[in-house]
Structure formats: C-alpha cells, structure tokens
C-alpha cells in the first residue's frame, strides 16, 4: 500500500528523453520507491519525444494562457512510469536536445520554459489534480528549482519539498528582468531569496526554499559545502547543512544486467566470467582494435566536458601505448576534445578507437567487453557509468572525488576491493593508476577477484530508494507535528 504521494519534477526521464544521468535517476527511482510504500508521478515537459511516447494520454486540464500560450496537462503511464506531461507547444514543441537549439546554444527562453515546468509542479502541489495531491514535491536540478520557491511564496497550504542536486555546475541563472514575467514576487529578489549576483538563480531558489536538500552522494554533499565545490553556493549550503544529506544513486539493474542484456554479444554472470572474453573480441572487432585478448582494454563512456577530466586521459596516451593497453572511447560534447580524441585514434589505429556520438548499444557492449572503465572526473556528483561497470565486471579506474570515491573500493584497501582510485586529478596520478591496473590485470586471480567483488556489489536502487522514502516520511511527519 502506498501511503505517501510524491510528485517528482525533472526535465528528462529515461527511456523517453535523456542527456545524462539525471534521466536515468528520474526514470528508475519511482519504481524502486513503490516497494517502500511511495507512489510517485513524474512531471516533465512535453517535448515532441514525450508526446510521441504518450499516445494514450488523458487530458487533465487546459488553460488558454500559460507563460504566453495554451497548455494542456496530460497523464499517462507508459511502461509502468506514471507521468504528467506539459503540452505547451510554444515552449516545448522543439525536437532534439531539450536545452539547446539547432545552433548548439541554450534556447534563449529557457528561463521561461523551466519556470513553466516549476509553476505546473507547484499547481499540482496545491491540488489542481484532485486524483493526485502530493505530500511531497521533489525537484531535480535547476530546471525544477523554482518549484519550491513558487510553493513558498503562495499562501495556500503546500506539500513538503525536496531539492536534489545532481550537478552544482549548472545553476540556471537568468537576468533580473525575468522576475516579473515568471510570476515571482518582487520581494523574492534578495540575498535570502532567488537573487544571485544581480541575477535570478533557479538552483539557488530551490536550495533556499526546499524543506530538505539532497546531493547524489555523501561525499558530494560534503564537497559542495566548500567554496570551490559549492561553485558560488557553498555559503548557502553551509547555512543549510542541517537539512542537507547525500543519498547515493543506484542503477536500473533490469536495464543493466549482463545475464539478460540483449545488446551485448554474449551474456554472462560472475560464475562464468570467461565468457566476457567473447564480448571483448566483439568490441575489438566492431571498433577496429587489434584482436588482442591479453591487452588491457580500457573503456570510456562519457559526455566530453571539463567535468569529466578526459583531457587528462589524453595526456596518459603514452602510458596506454607503453603498457600495451588499448582504449575504446564513446562520447560527445566539447568540439576540441572530440577532435583531439579523433586525432589520437588516427595516429594509433588498432590501439585507440573513438566513437563520437550517443549510442546506447555500444555503451552496453563497452561495459561488457572492456576490461576496465576509466572515469577521471575533476568532480563527479555520483556517476553512473562506474556503477554499471561494477555490475558488468569492467574494473573501474576512477578519480577520488564525489560519488566515485563512495562507490569504488581501491585495490590497496583490502579484500573487498573493486577498482583503482587516484587523486589529485593530474596526468601523473592517472598514469600511475593505469600502471597499477595493468600490473593487476596480468595477475589473473587478483583481477578475477576485483571483478567478482564488483559484480556482487549492490548497485541497485533497492536500499537507496529506502533512504528517499525515509526522508519523505520524516518531512511529512514533521509537517504534521
Ligand atoms: P552525467 O550525468 O554527468 O553525464 P552519469 O555517469 O551520471 O554522468 O550518467 C551518464 C549516463 O549517460 C550513463 O547512463 C551513461 O551510460 C550514459 N552515456 C554517457 N555518454 C554516452 C554516450 N556517448 N552514449 C551512450 N550513453 C552515454
Ligand atoms: C549529474 C552528475 C552525475 C550524476 C547524475 C545523476 O549529471 O554529473 O555525477 O550521476 O547527475 O545524479
């Protein structure tokens, strides 16, 4: 029996629309919460992919003018995901990336688009959909950050609020002039409100006005309270540290399961690890790498951005070549990094393979076929690819930051070890970690143990969803008291 109702508010939800881990979390957490007595519905913008995925949606309401055009609120439950979608063509009928126009730049009206998402969340919070009046509105990242502020600056009875930080680097800052058009009162524009260095910050709004704040790992929850990690909001987070906690992400272990994964060449479990070799051979073949079973094959699946530290991995190319390793990288993003990786692949064909783009099938094959997965992030709120790697027996080699530090046990840390960690995040320290991994790789029992430890680590949402359930219950209880 579900006894608590949560409206989750997110700008992307897997498998319908995804640019990063936020979508994975928003897509998988609700099902895991059901087992803990929490009924979730997720509100998302009605981009074309969303409306296409909801052909049987029912219309709950329509208004003639919502932030400059008509709107319909739709409800549907595709594949067990209970969704509300905002059908507002003037804001969301734009194909492709949810945030960027065809020129690769932010849509100029993103401030209005995501204010609309938050406003609708607040209205649902106030009970506009009688069949689903939430006890909690749970906002994810800056795109939903105004929801707690709208709920705060209204005198109606409001539900409890949670703001989850997936990434402090994206804060949703818009000019002061926006304030009136998005419907926040003038008094909200002050240092204890939504004002941030003369502008409006949607993330700050969420952090300021939510009952509780979570970050997606305990270490990140600590890091963001420093001036550097807080990226300008560290002081506010220190002030609110009594309501801030870290809850680790999980992954959807039905999507990421090497025993049943139809996207890989050969399925396997920790009992029959030798079958992984067939996936490695398939990956080498597909990417044009030398068919070398004994070369340590490093995988990378990542957005190519400063956060991910992949410029640092480029400096380690001599170490990779010198130690007889191979590299298979799948990613897209920063144009200069794309070019540099493609040049490295051309210069070292057979040893380095680079695929620029977004390719879920290949992501699964890399997890199943690479010997190790490298995540050299400068900062990493949680990180999901290292969790998939653990489950697939690809030994993670990660920087000692954020959720990477919380989810990988270094080979030097005893019998429960699952991978290799390095820090500070410099080319030298990364190269040292790669050499340590190379030594271990050539000691079969040691490597097998790392893989088995990883594959038997619980990376699912089961227990982690329980921490969100406990948080929701706490908020509901304290608001009743
Ligand atoms: P972030 O959200 O910062 O990008 P995460 O590790 O939390 O990092 O999540 C990234 C998600 O996106 C993972 O599910 C990963 O498999 C996926 N991903 C990243 N890049 C690609 C790509 N080029 N092709 C396919 N999947 C990708
Ligand atoms: C962000 C972070 C990543 C995290 C993901 C899901 O995109 O960069 O570390 O795993 O959100 O919470």
Whether residue 469 sits in one domain with residue 451 = no
Minimal-distance CA residue to ligand 2 atom 10: 383
242 vs 400: CA distance, rounded Å: 25
Average pLDDT, the chain: 97
Question: Do the domain assignments include residue 409?
Answer: yes
82-119 CB burial, b ≥16 within 10 A, e <16: bbbbbbbebbbebeeebbeeeeeeebebbbbbbbbbbb
Question: Do the domain assignments include residue 255?
Answer: no
Whether residue 303 sits in one domain with residue 243 = no
Whether residue 371 sits in one domain with residue 288 = yes
**Full DSSP string of 127-170:** TSSTT---SEEEEETGGGTHHHHHHHTS-S---EEEEEES-TT-
Whether residue 292 sits in one domain with residue 204 = no
* Mean pLDDT value across residues 296-310: 97
Question: Do the domain assignments include residue 124?
Answer: yes
Residue 359 has pLDDT above 70, yes or no: yes
Strand partners, 8: 42, 138
Torsion of CA 248, 369, 297, 371, to 10 degrees: 50
- Judge if the beta carbon of residue 332 lies within 6 A of ligand 1: yes
Residues 24-66 have pLDDT tens digits of 999 999 999 999 999 999 999 999 999 999 999 999 999 999 9
Whether residue 327 sits in one domain with residue 429 = yes
The backbone torsions φ and ψ at residue 168, rounded to the nearest 5 degrees and listed phi first, read: -70, -15
Whether residue 241 sits in one domain with residue 131 = yes
Whether residue 226 sits in one domain with residue 203 = yes
Whether residue 33 sits in one domain with residue 119 = yes
Query: Between the CA of residue 158 and those of 47, 147, 473, what are the distances in Å?
Result: 28, 11, 16
- Judge if the beta carbon of residue 359 lies within 6 A of ligand 1: yes
Reported as a pLDDT band with limits 50, 70 and 90, residue 437 is very high
The DSSP secondary-structure symbol of 297 reads: E
Residue 2 has pLDDT above 90, yes or no: no
Question: Do the domain assignments include residue 262?
Answer: no
Structure tokens, 449: 């143990």
- Which pLDDT value is given to residue 125? 98
What is the distance of C-alpha 402 from the center of its chain? 13
Question: Do the domain assignments include residue 444?
Answer: yes
CATH number of the domain enclosing 36: 3.40.50.2000
Residue 1 has pLDDT above 70, yes or no: no
381 vs 391: CA distance, rounded Å: 20
Cα–ligand 2 centroid distance for 65 (angstroms) = 34
Structure tokens, 390: 């653990």
Nearest-atom number in ligand 2 for the CA of 381 is 9
Question: Do the domain assignments include residue 404?
Answer: yes
Whether residue 299 sits in one domain with residue 211 = no
Whether residue 476 sits in one domain with residue 364 = no
Whether residue 343 sits in one domain with residue 226 = no
Residues 158-213 have pLDDT tens digits of 999 999 999 999 999 999 998 989 999 999 999 999 999 999 999 999 999 999 99
The DSSP secondary-structure symbol of 410 reads: B
Question: Do the domain assignments include residue 263?
Answer: no
Nearest-atom number in ligand 1 for the CA of 331 is 23
Range of the domain at 340: 270-455
Structure tokens, 229: 């990690």
Q: Total structural domains in the chain? A: 2
- pTM for the model stands at 0.97
Question: Do the domain assignments include residue 41?
Answer: yes
Cα–ligand 2 centroid distance for 168 (angstroms) = 10
Cα–ligand 2 centroid distance for 25 (angstroms) = 9
- For residue 147, give the 3-state DSSP assignment: helix
Structure tokens, 33: 């919460």
204 vs 20: CA distance, rounded Å: 21
Cβ distance 418 to 395 under 8 Å? yes
Whether residue 476 sits in one domain with residue 434 = no
């Amino acid at each position: 029996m579900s006894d608590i109702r949560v409206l989750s508010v997110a700008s992307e939800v897997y498998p319908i629309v995804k640019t990063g881990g936020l979508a994975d979390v928003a897509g998988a957490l609700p099902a895991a919460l059901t087992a803990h007595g929490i009924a979730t519905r997720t509100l998302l913008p009605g981009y074309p992919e969303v409306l296409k995925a909801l052909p049987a949606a029912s219309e709950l309401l329509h208004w003639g003018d919502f932030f400059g055009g008509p709107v319909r609120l739709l409800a549907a439950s595709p594949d067990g995901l209970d969704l509300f979608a905002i059908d507002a063509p003037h804001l969301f009928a734009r194909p492709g990336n949810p945030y960027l126009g065809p020129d690769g730049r932010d849509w100029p009206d993103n401030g209005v688009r995501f204010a609309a998402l938050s406003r609708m969340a607040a209205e649902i919070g106030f009970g506009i959909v009688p069949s689903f009046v939430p006890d909690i509105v749970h906002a994810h990242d800056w795109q939903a950050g105004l929801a707690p502020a709208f709920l705060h600056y209204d005198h109606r009875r409001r539900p409890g609020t949670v703001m989850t930080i997936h990434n402090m680097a994206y804060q949703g800052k818009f000019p002061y002039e926006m304030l009136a058009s998005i419907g926040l009162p003038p008094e909200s524009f002050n240092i204890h409100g939504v004002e941030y260095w003369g502008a409006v910050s949607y993330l700050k709004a969420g952090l300021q006005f939510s009952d509780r704040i979570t970050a997606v790992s305990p270490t990140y929850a600590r890091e963001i309270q420093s001036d550097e990690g807080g990226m300008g909001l560290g002081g506010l987070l220190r002030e609110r540290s009594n309501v801030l906690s870290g809850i680790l992400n999980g992954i959807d272990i039905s999507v990421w399961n090497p025993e049943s994964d139809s996207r890989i060449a050969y399925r396997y479990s920790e009992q029959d690890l030798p079958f992984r070799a067939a996936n490695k051979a398939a990956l080498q073949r597909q990417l044009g790498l030398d068919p070398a079973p004994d070369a340590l094959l490093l995988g990378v699946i990542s957005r190519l951005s400063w956060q991910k530290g992949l410029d640092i991995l480029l400096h380690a190319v001599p170490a990779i070549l010198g130690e007889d390793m191979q590299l298979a990288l799948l990613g897209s993003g920063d144009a200069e990094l794309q070019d540099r990786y493609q040049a490295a692949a051309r210069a070292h064909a057979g040893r380095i393979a680079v695929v620029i783009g977004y390719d879920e099938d290949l992501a699964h094959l890399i997890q199943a076929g690479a010997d190790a997965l490298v995540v050299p992030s400068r900062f990493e709120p949680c990180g999901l690819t290292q969790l998939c790697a653990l489950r697939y027996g690809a030994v993670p080699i990660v920087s000692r930051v954020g959720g990477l530090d919380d989810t990988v046990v270094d080979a030097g840390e005893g019998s429960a070890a699952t991978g290799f960690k390095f820090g500070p995040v410099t080319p030298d320290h990364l190269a040292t970690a790669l050499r340590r991994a190379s030594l271990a790789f050539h000691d079969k029992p040691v490597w097998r143990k790392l893989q088995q430890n990883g594959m038997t680590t619980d990376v699912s949402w089961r227990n982690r969803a329980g921490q969100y359930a406990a948080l929701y219950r706490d908020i509901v209880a304290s608001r009743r008291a």
